[in-house]
C-alpha cells in the first residue's frame, strides 16, 4: 500500500482527491471503479478506498496512538487524531439521508 510521508504530498493528494469527490460524475465513476479513477487523477491505484454515503460513514483507526498525550487530554493531539480519522477530507455540506 502507498504511504504518504510528507505533508506537501499529502495536501497535493487531498486536492486531487477533492476534485474527484466534488464532481458528481467523477464521484459516481470513482465509487463504481476506484482503481480506474485514481490514475486518471494522477493518484496511486493501490490505495484502499471506502466511500461514505448518507447512511454509512467510515472511520479510520490510526495504526498507533500516543497514550501519554491522550491521558494528558492534549487537545491538539485530539485534533490531529480527528484529521487523521477524516483523512483530511471534509464535507462542505453534510450529506442528507434519503
pLDDT at residue 5, rounded to an integer: 58
Q: What are the tens digits of pLDDT across the range 29-86?
A: 888 887 787 777 777 777 777 777 778 877 777 777 889 998 999 988 888 887 776 6
Cross-strand pairs, 56: 53
Whether the predicted model's global pTM rises above the 0.75 cut: no
Nearest to 18 by CA among 48, 55, 53, 43: 43
Amino acid at each position: 500500500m502507498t504511504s504518504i510521508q510528507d505533508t506537501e504530498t499529502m495536501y497535493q493528494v487531498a486536492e486531487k482527491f477533492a476534485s474527484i469527490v466534488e464532481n458528481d460524475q467523477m464521484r459516481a465513476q470513482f465509487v463504481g471503479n476506484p482503481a480506474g479513477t485514481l490514475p486518471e487523477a494522477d493518484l496511486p491505484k493501490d490505495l484502499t478506498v471506502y466511500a461514505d454515503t448518507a447512511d454509512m460513514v467510515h472511520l479510520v483507526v490510526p495504526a498507533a496512538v500516543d497514550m501519554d498525550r491522550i491521558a494528558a487530554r492534549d487537545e491538539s493531539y485530539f485534533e490531529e487524531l480527528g484529521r487523521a480519522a477524516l483523512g483530511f477530507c471534509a464535507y462542505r455540506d453534510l450529506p442528507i439521508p434519503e
